A and B are shown apart, each in its own frame.
Chain A
Amino acid sequence: MKSNVFHHWRRDCLPPVHNRRTSRVAQLGCTLICILLTAPALTADEPDSLAALGPAYQRDIRPLLEQFCLDCHSTKQQEGDFDLQQFSGLEQVQRDPQAWQKVDQMLASGEMPPEESLQPSAAQRQTLRAWVQSYLAVAARQNAGDPGHVVLRRLDNAEYKYTLRDLTEVDLDPTREFPSAGSSGEGFTNTGDALAMSPALLQKYLLAGKQVAEHAVLLPDGFRFSLRATRRDWTDEILNRLRTFYEQFVESQDLGSGLAVGYINGHVDTRLGEAGRLPLEKYFAATLAERKALADGSRNIAEVARQRGLNARYLAALWSSLSGSTPSEFPGNLPARWRAAGAQDATALAAHVARWQRGLWKFNPIGLQGRQGSASRWMEPVDPVLTEEEFRLAIPEPAEGETTTEIIVSLVATDAGDGNRHDDIVWQRPRLVKKGEDDLLLYDVRGRSAAAPGEPPWGLDRACFGKHPRCGRIDAASLGARAPSVITVRLPANLAAGRELVTTAALHPRAGKRASVQVDVIAGTPAKTCGLLPSEVTVNCSQVTQVFSAQSKLSFARPILIHKNSPFRARLLTTFANHRRLFPAALCYTQLTPVDELHTTTLFYREDDHLARLMLDKQQQAHLDQLWKELRYVSQADLMRLVALQDMLHSMGPNRDQEDSQYDGIEPLLEPLTAGAATFGEHLVDTEAAHLEALIDFAERAYRRPLIGLENDELRGLYHRLRGEELSHDAAFRLTLARIFVATPFLFRLEKAPPVPTAAAVSDWELASRLSYFLWSSQPDEPLRRLAAAGQLRQPGILADQAARMLRDPRVRRLATEFTCQWLDIYDFADNDEKSEQMFPQFADLRADMYEESIRFFADLFANDGSILDLLAADHTFLNEALAKHYGIGGVQGPAWRRVTGVGAQGRGGVLTMASVLAKQSGAARTSPILRGNWIYETLLGEHLPKPPANVPLLPDTVPAGLTARQLIEQHSSVPQCAKCHRRIDPYGFALEQYDTIGRLRKENLDTRTRLADGNTIEGLPGLQQYLLQQRKDDFLRQFCRKLLGYSLGRAVQLSDEPLLQEIEQQLAGQGARFSVAVQTIVQSQQFREIRGRQMASN
């Protein structure tokens, strides 16, 4: 029986009950107060005890009933199925307290006796009511704390959705196609009565379970869920995780076809993939900016790294290499440059390091790793140190329309930074080469082409050839030189363009062991001719198939020619190795996948040893290894590779003659890949057991308690039975998982009724679920599960702590949505389709924002333990730009939500001003003071209107001339049979008339002054708020508590809950009406902590 009788006798008639109640107040922490209610035994010496009520009934009440009620409500007549004659004495009365709640309600609303019947005098009415209320108060105390009859609850759609989300940690929502919910109890969907089951719904549950199970990703040691349901997507998810992991440390850069570092000229499509580059500039910047602080110890590396988001291990390595007492040697003398650098020179230092990287590393494309002759790594070290090097400088044809007559090239030899002793070299037979034409020796150029008059002659004087300045005769067409030397040559374009200048630079045979020369052939003239310059490596491949072969050839710009046994060579190589150790060109291969997918059996490629060495700690390393392990497992790469290889071999088979080299190149892979696939197959079988174990763990979470009895065996049994039906492991696993989602202990909130005739405490696990479904509409989380497992949750202090923790959790938003929005009748407002599109085209775009404002306001109030009275009037709300504009509130830009204060002065704050509420309680095209008023009367204040007359008069379709909408309603409502109700509700609505159908403030001023049924006169929103806060505060709080209690218990509030409601009210009064006080009092109550025994009568 949903009834609202209590506030009447609570105010007027009820004697104080707390003197009879054992009330223990425990102070927990600094704010939590728990109240344990114990029902008092009924004793004869109470003022309104049964002893006094019995005689009074016979003496005063029975005659009044006979006089005014029994004409209709006799045992014979039973008008409205209501028989008052049966209550011949107190004993009979006590059998049906609900009937007397109805009597009280009828008296309160004035509905009975009906107007046309004989009316009791005021005194008689007062006698009747006083007795009924006294009796109800006694009856309430008699069963105080009764947990009540709670109908077995299935998860409602929202609870199913949230539970699934918390269980799977992904937002899968199959409930959209479930039938929408009804309500019962205090008007909430979480009430057992409203949750019907049918075969059609069961099929939906089964289908949903199977669909969710399709989202399970099997892992080597268990499973998790993904938003997606294909292996391909799961693989991509792990790849994304890997990339995300890498990108904490490096910056991904596409190496293109190799121009950034190294170069492959053979195959334009051959990419080198994405490289994880060291973000060196940031590190240099840190060492430069913090140089002094780090040096004098006022700051440490860890601190600087944390502050700048850098890796501490790497920063430490860099710091010690640059600043150590014996700094390492780097090419180009990096430590000295660093010491000389200012805070702004980080970029230059990084560029310097990068230049050297181009000469010290080469890259190979990732594809057919493992093929005969292929490179084993993606990034390999290179030393640009040789005894001779052939240069081929291509001289381009002039671009169209361009006339070039002169081409200048230089043969450059520098001393490699170690002085020029013994630095003698020979440029062997420099010549211009073109395919299909004879070579033209540089020696012959001057003779072949005469220069224009006045211009210097072409080429070189023949006298320069055939001799070395220090070492005597050499080949007649070669040039000798000692570094440093630059031989610049002018060539006529008509001869040189379209040819290559080819020459080999070699150490002169007589050059000593100490010779070290850096040589280069360039177009134009060199900018710099002394010191060691960064080299640059190029990988040359002539055809596509050779991309993967060892036949590629390296060439160098500015190689260092040096004798094999030169001591300087060893020193040079050491500096190069130092550079490579601290500054790898890439720390990892962030591409992860091959870059030439047409020709690959590789699915994923891992190269991150430099990252591991320089940056990762143990934990990070383990995490990374785990990700790779999962990738390999989830992608089933070892199986896929074999399939890919077999496909390739198969496709080459028919063309073996032409493709011999390719076929033979990859055929050797067959054996290891076959073995790998077989091993992986065994591994898959090995991991099946782990999946089944994980499934059992999962069932415990899904059932919200440990498995009991046969459950464990039955789950395993089902799996094996399905395997017996020739389902694969994968299919059997998924179906067993789906089965958990249609299990009774998952779908239903089963609670064991103890085999006792009284109530008893629920178990810790049951209490955990009661708590989590109350506050989060979902399953207990890990801390709650731990406490339940330890049997500690029932301890009042721990229970209070948990409730407090849960209220601060973001999941309290669900309580805001499910409880508050259902109570206030704005549930699912984001889908509201009730407003005229013609008149309010903007509504469709705004409704989700309107709903969001409400939810955020409530969630904020709950999480921050605000006053419940803030619901009636607050000076803040939550807005984004769109809604702020709708409200006419300035200064809110952008789609982000924010708390906005000072809105009271702009007519906002609290539920009365929310667009969601105002629009919901309007018609499609106009406001409805009746709806709004009725909403305040019934929903906010918990009052009940009598039933409307059988044939309510029709509203005129249009407002007659000369009347306002309000006047029209006033006229309509003045019909006496209507006025009885309308005078109670309409005035509230008139006070809100300044707000239009979709909650905007109207520009014109409307008459919002109105007289309430109780005689108070109010004006507009401020008047209404003031009235509610001052005159009706208790009624509002009572209604709030009643709704919250009904929601928390999953049933309608009953007579025996009355003492608890009073308790909550008293607590609220003393503690600023803070929300947590209501919640804490409820969760500590007998109703919340106990369950009726199996033998207990169902009422």
Chain B
Amino acid sequence: MALPWMESLPVWGNASGQPQDQAPTRLAVLFSGNGFHSTEWWAKGAGAQMELGKVLTPLSDYRERMLFIRGLYNEEALKGNIHSSQTGNLLSGAPLASGGRIHSGTSFDQLIAQRYGHSTKVPSLVLGCEKSIPGIHKNYSLLYSSHISWSSPNCPTPLELYPALAFDRLFNDQADRGDQSVLDAVLVEGKRFRQDISLSDRRKLDEYLNSVREVEQRIERAGQSGQLQGWRPTLQEPNVPRPEDGIPQDLSEHMRLMCDILVLAFQTDSTRVCTLKLNNDISYLRFPHLGVDIGHHDLSHRNNDDWLKVNQFFVEQLGYIAGKLDAIQEGERTALDNSLLMHCSSMMTGSHDATQLPVVLLGGGGGQLQGGRVLDYLEQPNRKMCSLYLSLLDKYGIHLSEFGDSTERLAEV
């Protein structure tokens, strides 16, 4: 079949340079929209003595495993308008198409997922806590505002908003009898249509056929168990019940459930890459449980104490994930030591300032990340987000000469 399937299937351990009997390094990227408080996102000092701005106080327990990075920016995000054009390429640094078209770049998390996805039940988990909004804002699709993970330049990775469905995606791999025959038939048929359509439509159709193929492969893999060698996760089956159907009314409960699923996915080694979009850029979430009954976007333009409270609430999610991972012992290290957590936004503050972006990393990265540091690139010539991604990709055994708009690494990371 002349379809552009994934060309190679490297083995996680070998390619990343880690021994196969060691726990793999997981990656989680958390995103919150509309930036943070203009004067309370900062860190200085080092190690246990590091001082933190108020937004970051929920992370104070993890200062020694935290890397605070200041001054990075994304060149392409400065070229468009505001909001959606600042967000859709946050993890890729790619130029964004405007004027009714949608085109970004494959994000670095998905690059890792595509390289190693076959090692786990699902290649990556892309979760969200706010529904994406249809429409176009300032000549850029709002799709950009709600998708930071992109499987390909044309294809934002769909988000799962329902905790129960995310759970099912990880743990319900009961394929029904006959499913494979059905998928086969769809593939054979789809292949025929490729002949009659234009080249660009073929790309669109291939998106579909590749998806069919991938699901089929997953069914195949589900049929083969006990083949994993070396390291085994500390948990085989979920140790918590499946969440209830539907989206919880209470936002904090929704976020908490998504964080739990992320941790569970790592703990059971169902996936090693997870993106959690806590809200959209241009977000309408309200926070009655914090006593803040105003929309997130509106708040971001006010920069007051309520805004701070909401910022902290978002960062608490990162702290919660770190805490749970740190409680999971995987040999000598904890799961937090074996993970790399990143929290970022597409602007510094609510006033659309993307000339420097808020970034904080947490976790040991499997012994590859030295925490307790503050790195300030603001005055440095090489201060691109994509340079950070090149450095992070290295840690996953993906050594690229360029990514997005960068050809350099951040040596200190």
A residues apposed to B, CB below 8 Å: 1-3, 80-81, 98, 149, 151-152, 154, 177, 179-189, 191-194, 196-203, 206, 210, 709-711, 714, 717-718, 721-722, 725, 727, 731-732, 735-736, 738-739, 742-745, 747-748, 750-753, 822, 825, 827, 833-834, 836-839, 923-925, 944-945, 947-948, 950-957, 1046, 1051-1052, 1092, 1094, 1098
Q: How many Å lie between the Cα of A742 and that of B184 in the bound state?
A: 11
Q: Is B132 an interface residue (CB 8 A)?
A: yes
Q: A186-B100, A735-B176 are in contact. List 20 more A-B contacts (CB 8 A).
A: A1-B98, A81-B79, A179-B158, A182-B134, A182-B143, A183-B141, A192-B204, A194-B141, A198-B211, A200-B160, A202-B212, A714-B185, A714-B189, A718-B182, A727-B178, A744-B208, A745-B189, A834-B295, A923-B295, A1051-B100
Task: Pick the residue among B81, B103, B134, B181 that contacts A189 (CB under 8 A).
Answer: B134
Q: How far is the CB of A924 from chain B (nearest CB, A)?
A: 4
Contact A753 B196 (CB under 8 A): yes
Q: Mark B130-146, 1 if CB is under 8 A from A, else 0.
A: 01111110110111001
Contact A199 B215 (CB under 8 A): yes
With a cutoff of 8 Å between Cβ atoms, the chain B residues found around residue A151 in the complex are: 200-201, 204
Contact A839 B100 (CB under 8 A): no
- From A954, which residue of chain B is reached at the shortest CB distance? B303
B residues apposed to A, CB below 8 Å: 38, 79, 81-82, 95, 98-103, 123, 126, 131-136, 138-139, 141-143, 146-147, 151, 154-162, 165, 169, 176-179, 181-183, 185-186, 188-190, 192-193, 196-201, 204-205, 207-208, 211-212, 214-215, 218, 284, 286, 288, 293-295, 298, 301-304, 350-353, 355
With a cutoff of 8 Å between Cβ atoms, the chain B residues found around residue A838 in the complex are: 288, 293
Q: How many Å lie between the Cα of A177 and that of B99 in the bound state?
A: 29
With a cutoff of 8 Å between Cβ atoms, the chain B residues found around residue A839 in the complex are: 293
Q: How many Å lie between the Cα of A718 and that of B154 in the bound state?
A: 32
Q: How far is the CB of B273 from chain A (nearest CB, A)?
A: 14
State the 10 A-B residue pairs at the shortest beta-carbon distance, nearest first.
A1052-B100, A182-B143, A179-B158, A836-B293, A152-B201, A187-B136, A1-B99, A202-B211, A193-B102, A152-B204
With a cutoff of 8 Å between Cβ atoms, the chain B residues found around residue A182 in the complex are: 102, 132, 134, 141-143, 146-147, 156
- From B156, which residue of chain A is reached at the shortest CB distance? A196
Task: Pick the residue among A81, A709, A736, A742 that contacts B192 (CB under 8 A).
Answer: A709
Q: How many Å lie between the Cα of A609 and that of B154 in the bound state?
A: 66
Contact B158 A752 (CB under 8 A): no
With a cutoff of 8 Å between Cβ atoms, the chain B residues found around residue A952 in the complex are: 301, 351-352
Contact B132 A180 (CB under 8 A): yes
- From B293, which residue of chain A is reached at the shortest CB distance? A836
Quick one: which of A1, A181, A184, A837 has the most chain B CB within 10 A? A184
With a cutoff of 8 Å between Cβ atoms, the chain B residues found around residue A951 in the complex are: 351-353
Q: How far is the CB of B76 from chain A (nearest CB, A)?
A: 9
Contact A742 B139 (CB under 8 A): no
Task: Pick the residue among A184, A833, A947, A1052 that contacts B284 (CB under 8 A).
Answer: A833
Q: Given A753-B201, A836-B286, A944-B139, does the pair A196, B181 have CB atoms closer than 8 Å?
A: no
Task: Pick the residue among A721, A736, A739, A822 that contacts B135 (CB under 8 A).
Answer: A822
With a cutoff of 8 Å between Cβ atoms, the chain B residues found around residue A752 in the complex are: 196-197
Q: How many Å lie between the Cα of A192 and that of B146 in the bound state?
A: 18
With a cutoff of 8 Å between Cβ atoms, the chain A residues found around residue B176 in the complex are: 210, 735
Q: How many Å lie between the Cα of A242 and that of B162 in the bound state?
A: 41
- From B146, which residue of chain A is reached at the shortest CB distance? A182
Q: How far is the CB of A152 from chain B (nearest CB, A)?
A: 4
In the assembled complex, 5 residue pairs joining A and B whose CB atoms fall closer than 8 Å, in A order, are A180-B134, A183-B141, A193-B154, A735-B181, A924-B295
Q: How many Å lie between the Cα of A125 and that of B269 in the bound state?
A: 63
With a cutoff of 8 Å between Cβ atoms, the chain A residues found around residue B198 in the complex are: 753, 1092, 1094, 1098
Quick one: which of A747, A836, A957 has the most chain B CB within 10 A? A957
Q: How many Å lie between the Cα of A152 and that of B207 in the bound state?
A: 11
Q: How many Å lie between the Cα of A897 and that of B158 in the bound state?
A: 38
Contact A924 B351 (CB under 8 A): no
With a cutoff of 8 Å between Cβ atoms, the chain A residues found around residue B169 in the complex are: 200, 203
- From A102, which residue of chain B is reached at the shortest CB distance? B99
Q: How many Å lie between the Cα of A496 and that of B136 in the bound state?
A: 95
Q: How far is the CB of A703 from chain B (nearest CB, A)?
A: 10
With a cutoff of 8 Å between Cβ atoms, the chain A residues found around residue B197 in the complex are: 152, 750-753, 1094
Task: Pick the residue among B182, B284, B294 that contacts A739 (CB under 8 A).
Answer: B182
Q: Given A200-B169, A748-B205, does the pair A179, B132 have CB atoms closer than 8 Å?
A: yes
- From B217, which residue of chain A is reached at the shortest CB distance? A199
Q: How many Å lie between the Cα of A200 and that of B158 in the bound state?
A: 7
With a cutoff of 8 Å between Cβ atoms, the chain B residues found around residue A206 in the complex are: 179, 182-183, 215
With a cutoff of 8 Å between Cβ atoms, the chain A residues found around residue B82 in the complex are: 947-948
Q: How many Å lie between the Cα of A738 and that of B185 in the bound state?
A: 12
Q: How many Å lie between the Cα of A581 and that of B354 in the bound state?
A: 91
With a cutoff of 8 Å between Cβ atoms, the chain B residues found around residue A955 in the complex are: 301-302
With a cutoff of 8 Å between Cβ atoms, the chain A residues found around residue B79 in the complex are: 80-81
Q: Given A752-B196, A833-B284, A955-B301, does the pair A191, B100 have CB atoms closer than 8 Å?
A: yes
- From B82, which residue of chain A is reached at the shortest CB distance? A948
Contact B215 A744 (CB under 8 A): no
Contact A183 B101 (CB under 8 A): no
Q: How many Å lie between the Cα of A203 and that of B218 in the bound state?
A: 11
Quick one: which of B131, B161, B178, B188 has the most chain A CB within 10 A? B178
Contact B295 A149 (CB under 8 A): no
Q: How far is the CB of A92 from chain B (nearest CB, A)?
A: 21
With a cutoff of 8 Å between Cβ atoms, the chain A residues found around residue B211 in the complex are: 197-199, 201-202
Q: How far is the CB of A225 from chain B (nearest CB, A)?
A: 19
Q: How many Å lie between the Cα of A23 and that of B169 in the bound state?
A: 57
Q: How many Å lie between the Cα of A834 and that of B165 in the bound state?
A: 25
